[in-house]
Structure 1
Amino acid sequence: MKISSRGPLAAALLALLLAGCGMQPSMTQRQPADDPEQLLQEANQQAPAEAARSRLEAADILARQGRAPQALEIVKNLDDAQLSVEQRRRWALLLSELGESQSDPHAVVQAGQLLKSDTPPRQQANLLLERLGRALGELDKPLPAAAALLRLQAANDSEDLNDPIWAQLSRLPAGSLSKLRSSQEADTRAWLTLTDLVRDGSGDIERLFQQIDNWRDQHPDHPAARRLPSKILALRDLRGREIHHIAVFLPESGPLANVAEAIEQGMRAHHLNEVNSGASGTQLSFIDSSGGNLDELYREARNRGAQAVIGPLDKELVSRLEQREQVPLPTLALNYGTADHNQAENLFQYGLSAENEARQVARRGRVDGLRSAAVMVPGNDWGRRVGEAFRDTWLANGGEITRTERYNPGQPATESTRQAVGSPKPDMLFLLALPEYARQVPPTLDYYSASELPVYATSHLYEGRPQPRLDKDLDGVRFIDIPWQIPDAAVGGEDALPFLDSYHQLRQESEPSLFRLMAMGVDAYELTRRLPQFQAIPGSELFGATGTLSVGEDGRIQRQLPWARFSDGVPQPMIVGPLGDALR
């Protein structure tokens, strides 16, 4: 039976990788032939088993002749189920080698599926595991990638695997890390402890390396204790560059004052919790930005001794900043400018962008195999911007838009929903709506016999607290939100959330409508303390209250959010598609 090159490694593979397998050394000897073209012609006339052997031999010859693309195509498509055990091992090794050399990670994963049904000799199995781990990482599947590489290191104790292992572990959200914690391998558990230390280290580099030194003393024989991953070592170079004083530009009056107050409350609460936990104190200086004079604000920040800035919040001020060549101090703006790209050196931009969410929804819909989409957005400027973000990403990933319906939020959803999903019928509906309007859409779909149509939405349809009676009408709707709003779906429960003490305090004190903004204040504080790390170490991420945060090429912070699906009116975990959110 031919194994699909795009099939995911299921939970059984992960269990296999973690449980281990016995392997004995030896290598299969090949019997070369001369003419691959003749072998391929003969295969067309042969019985299935003999044809598979001929095609394998032809692919091997082509590979040795330097004709790798042709060899890869043959070995990917031959019926490996017709091969003997030894021949299948040879097939898997050749396929993984060609897949790696030709930048085809799907082919490497196809070859790695041999490990589900066979126990090759140790040298062969280790080679397949190493290639498999790298390929899964390329396919944005860090959990099975980490499992494969950890299993390999358990077999060979190689320090050379430290960097590849760390590359995968450092990408895993808390919920995925928990799936590795049941491992019986002491080295795997030690890796997870190290991962927790680095994630919890905030911007206090001195304290972090004291904790890492303690970890090394506790695990002296661990491969990472003998040689720390290079990205952890790079953090050591940031000693002396820590951020100890931050100026915060927020308006005390005007239309954004209430938003600013919620962000400030989150920032202050988290700052106090960090200090109480033993982290080195970072001084916060709040400066009223209502006047809008950016040069004066930066002069005041410097006069107070600030090393970095959080703010401004106003989109117009951020747009003015991003047109400069550089800003006077490293700055994390709390909004995104209107230009296509941020050109100012040392300026980073962060916010709870609905456009960012729409792009992630579009990528997810395409990964789930959906091709055509209808769009429902409010008929205002916000709806236009978010709708365009979804449309552009959807089209860029090969999708089609059947209809864009710009509805009036003050009117019932009945007619707009009917228009959106009319002929031609789409494969999915993208919905941008507040809770009261969103709750009308699924019942309307039921009425028009479209109840099976998948609905994908942004976070705006969820008020942030369980309301099973009200939200029962949203059953089946898929949506994204920040981890702090959907802890069960995001990380398997509150106890696994980042910055747990701050979460509990702010959840108890806040109005649900302001909780996301308070979480934004927490992450703004953490991001700013880590600005030296983000600047020095490309690819750094923060697993924060508002998502997995990383820095784009132009300094704009990208958020990756967890998925949930309403069931009985409550957000529940939603299984990620076969390649995760891999389309970019």
Structure 2
Amino acid sequence: MTRRVIIRLGLAAGAALLLVACAPSPTRPGEQWAQQAQAQLQAGHPAMAADTYLKAAAGLAAPQRQQLMLKAAALLLQARQPDRARTVIEGIEPTGLGADDMARKATLAARIALLAHQPEQALAALPNDVHGLSPEVASGLLEVRAQAERLTGNPLGAIRARIALTPLLSAPATIDANRHALWELLSQASPGQAQAWQQEAATPALQAWLALALIAKTTSASPTALDNALAQWRQQYPQMPDAEPIIKALVAQWQAMQVYPSKVAVLLPLSGRFEPVARAILDGILTAYYRHRQRNGGHEVHLRIYDTAAHPDQIVSLYARAVQAGAQYVIGPLDRDTVTRLATSGQLTVPTLALNHAADGTPIPQQLYQFGLLPESESAQAAERASLDGRRRAIVLVPDSGWGQRVASAFADRFQQLGGEVLAIGRYDPSASDFSPAIVNTLNIDYSNARRRAVSATIGRSVDFEARRRQDVDMIFIAGDPRQARLLMPQIRFHHGIGLPVYAISTVYSGTRDPRADHDLNGLIFDDAPLLLDSQGPAAAARAAMHANFPEASRRYPRLIGLGEDAYDVLPSLQRLASQDWARFPGVTGRLKMTADHALVRQLEWAQFADGLPILMGQSQDAAQQNATATKAANGAPP
């Protein structure tokens, strides 16, 4: 679900709460305007009802005048007229208003700021304390605070707001929506981040929720591990009935992870040009297969592997052969053309997890699920992260290639949707070592040099000159491989880019911790899989096993090995993910969610390079140091 959709849903829910809180009092003689406004509202014309209230308010004294203006502003927001609503709010004098009405006014102002993509202003408009407010008004205010805190990149603030909101809600639908929004926030935190928050938590409820999130993130998938962890949690936090639906979902997820089909077919190109990629994915599939077998007492899953490269034009008949042999699930195929051919065949009869996406515009049959490591998705998440961090004006540096163009377009599209502006896109020669032309051009440093030459020509002598970059940019987004990133970062700094935050996608990181080689990446912010970032929990254990079992492949294709592991592990959860839009699967490549077109999307973690090592963002300094020490040790480096 995109951030814009989330905001709209939240604003709609909040507007409903405000309208309940601002509901007109029973009509008294001479107040025909109240009946008229009600009729207009029931007919689906909130803006007309707002106008009726405003006309009536002009003839009333305080505080009735301000109360009607509050109702009108809420209706204008419902009618998607935030500019008019802002004007009304600014005209409401505080004289004579009670605490509830003042809070209503602040909440409306904050909602208007959210619609303008200004979450910081929304927070500034809201009072910090809801003590003494009615439940309806307090719940509306806390809902807005939770949204604004999340949009400013402060998930812990959003978590606190949603916990405070919980006892104020009474309708089952709003209780459920708030609970799932809370769990979504908790689930996005890394284990280290959740642990750091728990150590600083000031309330038992926050401690309990964070402890539950840690259980979900760090408990192994063995049949009894979750039961034991939950039993201890219930003993430590007995007064947490609000968490029971989440616990029930966790238990169901763990149970589903133990119930695999008895026969699975794998369709991969194990020869030809895709062979190295396919072999790495197969390594991951087999790792998950043997891990599942060990945890489940030798429970047998018959895995049959087919080489699609032997007959690339016969994928449909090969698929039919696998199903006829008893396959209840199919993993693969891999390349886009083959996935598209299978998707349009009309022959899919069992759940099939393709390891790529069909061509754009291809109708996706019910039995087909799509999964892959899409750089475009990572670019969109980079745009979302930058927007959350308050960045509004970006320049982009990508390789001059089709891949670079797709990555740049994905970032620009999402960044602009969120209210940002891409000022320039620089394309560098991916085979070169000097990327100065693209950097200088996007930072407008060449224009500064041109002005120096023009002045020198005019006065007939050389002039002292210090080149300056453009001043309207507040971030840089880069894409490339580790070699290119290690060259880009120092060259950006050399060309007056010091102080500009730089964001990137996972391709800039080799996946192997190498402080000496990655020292030039210090400060770079990037998204990547838990497999390569977590220092504890299942993802960290999977990384250690990957390095031990596949030392060569884990250096070249670590994310593809993770893709294979998740492809096998997620099989029992596919239908649940497709039917429950709030459901998530804790994969090693990211938290997996399902879109409407049956595509698994990875929600990645965020890290920043420091001392040549990727450190998960949002950790305290002590936790970051512990993480750095642990990750060095995991790779054989001295602490």
Match of 2:580 among 520, 526, 537: 537
Structure 1 unaligned residues grouped into runs of 5+ = 1-29, 43-52, 488-493, 577-584
SS of 1:468's partner is coil
Q: Is the 8 A contact 1:143 1:168 kept in 2?
A: no
Task: Please give the residue correspondences for 1:95-114 in structure 2 after superposition, counting only pairs within 5 Å.
Answer: 95-96=106-107, 110=122
Q: Distance in 1 between matches of 2:369 and 2:282?
A: 19
Q: Distance in 2 between matches of 1:169 and 1:147?
A: 12
Q: Is the 8 A contact 1:157 1:223 kept in 2?
A: no
Partner of 1:440: 487
Q: Distance in 2 between matches of 1:514 and 1:283?
A: 26
Partner of 2:195: 178
Partner of 2:102: 91
Match of 1:319 among 333, 340, 357: 340
Root-mean-square deviation (CA, aligned residues, Å) is 4.6
| 1:402 and 2:421 are equivalent in the alignment | no
Q: Is the 8 A contact 1:377 1:383 kept in 2?
A: yes
Match of 2:268 among 231, 250, 257: 250
Task: Please give the residue correspondences for 1:16-165 in structure 2 after superposition, counting only pairs within 5 Å.
Answer: 58-63=65-70, 68-69=75-76, 73=86, 76-77=89-90, 87-93=98-104, 95-96=106-107, 110=122, 116=128, 118=129, 120-121=131-132, 124=134, 126-136=135-145, 138=147, 140=150, 143-153=156-166, 161=175, 164-165=178-179
Q: Distance in 2 between matches of 1:61 and 1:207?
A: 59
Partner of 2:463: none
C-alpha distance 499-278 of structure 1, shift in aligned 2 (>3 A) = farther
Q: Is the 8 A contact 1:566 1:572 kept in 2?
A: yes
Aligned-residue offset at 1:63: 3.8
SS of 1:328's partner is coil
Aligned-residue offset at 1:407: 1.8
Identity %: 24
Aligned-residue offset at 1:479: 2.0
Q: Is the 8 A contact 1:100 1:131 kept in 2?
A: no
SS of 1:376's partner is strand
State the Cα deviation string for residues 367-398 of structure 1 (Å, max 9, x = none).
44444443332233322332333343344445
SS of 2:532's partner is coil
Aligned-residue offset at 1:459: 1.6
SS of 2:582's partner is coil
Partner of 1:555: 598
Deviates more, 1:185-194 or 1:553-562: 185-194
Q: Is the 8 A contact 1:76 1:107 kept in 2?
A: no
| 1:485 and 2:532 are equivalent in the alignment | yes
Structure 2 unaligned residues grouped into runs of 5+ = 1-24, 32-52, 78-83, 448-469, 620-639
Aligned-residue offset at 1:355: 1.8
Q: Which has the higher helix share?
A: 2
Q: Counterpart amino acid of 1:134?
A: E
Q: Distance in 2 between matches of 1:374 and 1:111?
A: 28
Q: Which has the higher contact order (CA 8 A, sep 6+)?
A: 1
State the Cα deviation string for residues 201-252 of structure 1 (Å, max 9, x = none).
9999x98997799689857764247767896799799899864543221222
Partner of 1:289: 308
Aligned-residue offset at 1:329: 1.7
Q: Distance in 2 between matches of 1:467 and 1:373?
A: 29
Q: Counterpart amino acid of 2:429?
A: Y
Deviates more, 1:358-367 or 1:71-80: 71-80
Deviates more, 1:279-288 or 1:107-116: 107-116
C-alpha distance 150-158 of structure 1, shift in aligned 2 (>3 A) = farther
Deviates more, 1:131-140 or 1:374-383: 131-140
| 1:501 and 2:541 are equivalent in the alignment | yes
State the Cα deviation string for residues 433-468 of structure 1 (Å, max 9, x = none).
222222222332333333334332222221123333
C-alpha distance 276-282 of structure 1, shift in aligned 2 (>3 A) = same
Partner of 2:321: 300
Q: Distance in 2 between matches of 1:546 and 1:133?
A: 33
C-alpha distance 474-111 of structure 1, shift in aligned 2 (>3 A) = closer
C-alpha distance 203-245 of structure 1, shift in aligned 2 (>3 A) = farther
State the Cα deviation string for residues 83-130 of structure 1 (Å, max 9, x = none).
79x8445311454479789996989995897663x4623x63x54553
Q: Is the 8 A contact 1:332 1:524 kept in 2?
A: yes
Q: Counterpart amino acid of 2:577?
A: F
Q: Counterpart amino acid of 2:580?
A: I
Match of 2:399 among 378, 385, 402: 378
Q: Counterpart amino acid of 2:69?
A: L
Q: Distance in 2 between matches of 1:391 and 1:406?
A: 17
User: TM-score if structure 1 supplies the norm length?
Assistant: 0.73
Q: Counterpart amino acid of 2:525?
A: R
Partner of 1:412: 434
Aligned-residue offset at 1:533: 0.9
C-alpha distance 270-539 of structure 1, shift in aligned 2 (>3 A) = same
Deviates more, 1:141-150 or 1:210-219: 210-219
C-alpha distance 267-184 of structure 1, shift in aligned 2 (>3 A) = farther
Aligned-residue offset at 1:195: 4.9
Q: Distance in 2 between matches of 1:410 and 1:83?
A: 67
Aligned-residue offset at 1:254: 1.3
Deviates more, 1:157-166 or 1:411-420: 157-166
SS of 1:444's partner is helix
Partner of 1:272: 290
SS of 1:73's partner is helix
Match of 1:392 among 413, 429, 435: 413
SS of 2:369's partner is strand
Partner of 1:17: none
Match of 1:421 among 443, 460, 480: 443
Q: Distance in 2 between matches of 1:382 and 1:102?
A: 36
Q: Counterpart amino acid of 2:557?
A: L
Partner of 2:504: 457
Q: Distance in 2 between matches of 1:137 and 1:374?
A: 30
Partner of 1:354: 375
Q: Distance in 2 between matches of 1:555 and 1:202?
A: 27
Q: Is the 8 A contact 2:260 2:301 kept in 1?
A: no
| 1:523 and 2:545 are equivalent in the alignment | no
SS of 1:440's partner is helix
Q: Distance in 2 between matches of 1:98 and 1:422?
A: 38
SS of 1:439's partner is helix
Q: Distance in 2 between matches of 1:469 and 1:239?
A: 40
Q: Counterpart amino acid of 1:151?
A: A
Aligned-residue offset at 1:257: 1.5
State the Cα deviation string for residues 492-541 of structure 1 (Å, max 9, x = none).
xx11x444432321133433222121111222122222102112212322
SS of 1:263's partner is helix
Match of 2:610 among 545, 567, 571: 567
Q: Distance in 2 between matches of 1:361 and 1:108?
A: 20
Q: Distance in 1 between matches of 2:590 and 2:261?
A: 22
Q: Is the 8 A contact 1:534 1:551 kept in 2?
A: yes
User: TM-score if structure 2 supplies the norm length?
Assistant: 0.67
Q: Distance in 1 between matches of 2:503 and 2:126?
A: 36
C-alpha distance 393-89 of structure 1, shift in aligned 2 (>3 A) = closer
What is the aligned length? 521
SS of 2:348's partner is strand
Q: Distance in 1 between matches of 2:143 and 2:320?
A: 49
Partner of 1:25: none
Q: Distance in 1 between matches of 2:370 and 2:490?
A: 39
